[in-house]
Structure 1
């Protein structure tokens, strides 16, 4: 079953953010754009490269009213430890949610039963709390923050301009396609 347009279920989780532990709920997502960025585990090999790549684009995500949440099945305490001892992870400014009970990884269908870890899933959630883009990568394939930001821009444009769609490789500022009846077939 597809998760597109599924409304995020109510949840409560703890994150490490700005040197503090914070409770995050569905209410924190509403009214803005959200990127849920699931990754397998702290202290691994591909994960820190992805998290650092996202950090390099974090201010661009923030400028367009999007919060990033990195999520793994580690605890928020493990996130703090990793943040404290890793030079690369210490740069991260967005919240890192711990999901040791796997409630979020199950809800977003990214729990790997064999490994007991989250798969590499990326979910763009609109201000109403609905999933509008998602993808799940194999564990050994890292993601690209530039492409996630491009997709976010396209989702935001379509959300604000319902009669337009964004063609392949569309980037912010480029032409879109109008889908009104009079334009069909042109």
Structure 2
């Protein structure tokens, strides 16, 4: 699996647009997204195993509810699975929790991005619940992965993003607005 310090792989995927544009129907709901889309921004790319399942919409909806907070941090969210854009669209239309989702749903149907990241489950052949925070230069700054049966915490992803964007030393459980560690000050206090 790719990890911190690795370049996020190049990709070119069809996605269901976020927001109301994503519900206009085939031919109008889709867009192409590449690694250069939203150039110069932080990116959070998260994967789920399959559409029309039980845990996945809870996570997707939770990320969607935080979309404004991520945007306030100059960060875009991309959600992805190996289902097609048509399946994504159908799922959005028929699932109340994600119908008004403001983030694009990427279709990694050939599994090329999932394979390049090394996140395919060896038994099921679907993406694990992987999350990547990618800096504006395209370098992975945080990677986390859960098994197929355990949902992740999007609020924790936001907390880690906040810490990364300080470019400072952040202690355990640090939250935005709290003090960061200043090693020089700690040494001066000890002397």
Common fold by TM > 0.5: yes
Partner of 1:177, secondary structure, is: coil
2:51 is the counterpart of 1:42: yes
Extract structure 1 runs of 4+ deviating beyond 3 A: 182-186
Partner of 1:111, secondary structure, is: coil
Aligned partners of 1:128, 1:171: CA distance in 2, in Å? Answer: 24
Question: Against the structure 1 CA distance between its residues 132 and 85, is the aligned structure 2 distance closer, same or farther, given a 3 Å change threshold?
Answer: same
The answer as to whether partners of 1:71 and 1:99 remain within 8 angstroms in 2 is yes
2:179 is the counterpart of 1:175: yes
Q: TM-score, normalised by structure 2?
A: 0.89
Gap regions ≥5 residues in structure 2: 23-28
Aligned partners of 2:51, 2:7: CA distance in 1, in Å? Answer: 28
The total of aligned residue pairs comes to: 180
Report the equivalent of 2:12: 12
Question: Against the structure 1 CA distance between its residues 152 and 174, is the aligned structure 2 distance closer, same or farther, given a 3 Å change threshold?
Answer: same
2:149 is the counterpart of 1:145: no
Q: TM-score, normalised by structure 1?
A: 0.91
Gap regions ≥5 residues in structure 1: 159-163
Superposition deviation, residue 80 in structure 1: 0.6
Superposition deviation, residue 91 in structure 1: 2.0
Superposition deviation, residue 45 in structure 1: 0.6
Partner of 2:102, secondary structure, is: coil
Q: Deviations over 1:160-183 (max 9, x none)?
A: xxxx21111001111001246x75
Matches within 5 A, 1:70-81: 70-81=79-90
Q: Deviations over 1:2-57 (max 9, x none)?
A: 52111122211111013221101111153001001110010001001101111111
The answer as to whether partners of 1:29 and 1:127 remain within 8 angstroms in 2 is no
Aligned partners of 1:103, 1:156: CA distance in 2, in Å? Answer: 29
